[in-house]
Amino acid sequence: MSVIKLDHVSYVYSKGTPFEKVAVNDVNVEIEKGEFVGVIGHTGSGKSTLVQHLNALLQPTSGKVYIDGEDMWDDPKQVRKFRFKVGLVFQYPEYQLFEETIYKDVAFGPTNMGLSEQEVDERVRHATAMVGIDPADLEKSPFELSGGQKRRVAIAGVMAMRPEVLVLDEPTAGLDPMGRELILGQIREYHRETGSTILLVSHSMEDIANYAGKALVMNDGSLYMYDDVEKVFSHQKEIAEMGLSVPQVARIFTRLAEKGYPVNPNVFRVEDAVAQIRELIRKGENLHA
């Protein structure tokens, strides 16, 4: 069953003015429960505008958004409940921190859900543990933390609400490679533990290849493709024409295949590339073109 369904969704900024711009154009897509979806597209492709429809930050200019089969905007007075079902982590989420302590910041969402003090406490401790925050630090001010730690606290605040869908818009922007791997690894572990649906907006094709099972490609406001990561990245030429690139290892293996080496060019993860080379060596294949 689909947890998200977009039915002919369009969104126009500044409609009826000289600055009118179609940001999302007639998007139709269904995302199943438990999927880990990478959302990719060039700058200005509409991917961030699209995901802001999923927890009612934006209302479609036309079309409908369904969460668990319910039309999100059927009754505007009830739209708040969908914000607990779909948690959205903005780019640079550390700017959303505002409470005196880490504990209070992470507890803010669950408390507003009307949960008991005991349930809030359990969720805060579980979510902060998942993102690697030491329990001894929960009474510290979040503003004493490093940039990467602040980001993990902000993500924990959304995780603590235990949404059915977790949407992360460039959650690793501006982080060093170690910080990026740490946060993405924690998101993957959260996905495995909870079975939640994850949408990860990212400019990094390597991150999408390594963590997502499916890729949703936006191009000039329209949905270009939604399929398994392997099938999406096999369209290397079309993706390049959009101003994107497939993972570096895929480009390397494509060039090797073009030069006559006995490799499968449809490789997108480093571990798969290593496994393929080892298998060729095991079989005693001639690796010389």
Using one digit for the tens of pLDDT, what is the confidence trace for 189-245?
999 999 999 999 998 888 999 999 999 999 999 999 999 998 998 888 888 888 888
Identify the H or E element spanning 241: helix 236-241
Model confidence at 100, pLDDT cuts 50, 70, 90, reads very high
The SS3 of residue 48 is helix
> What's 35-60+73-232's CATH class?
alpha beta
Nearest CA-CA partner of 156 in 116, 120, 181, 195:
120
Measured CA to CA, the distance from residue 21 to residue 8 in angstroms comes to: 17
Model confidence at 270, pLDDT cuts 50, 70, 90, reads confident
Q: What is the 3-state secondary structure (H, E, C) of 155-199?
A: HHHHHCCCCCEEEEECCCCCCCHHHHHHHHHHHHHHHHHHCCEEE
Tally of CA atoms within 13 A in the half-sphere of 134 that contains its CB: 4
Domain boundaries, the chain: 35-60+73-232, 247-289
For residue 2, report the phi and psi dihedrals to the nearest 5 degrees: -80, 135
Which residue has 């001639």 as its token pair?
286
Q: What is the CA radius of gyration of the chain?
A: 21
Whether 163 shows a pLDDT value over 70: the answer reads yes
Q: What DSSP state is assigned to residue 101?
A: S
Measured CA to CA, the distance from residue 120 to residue 98 in angstroms comes to: 18
pTM: 0.89
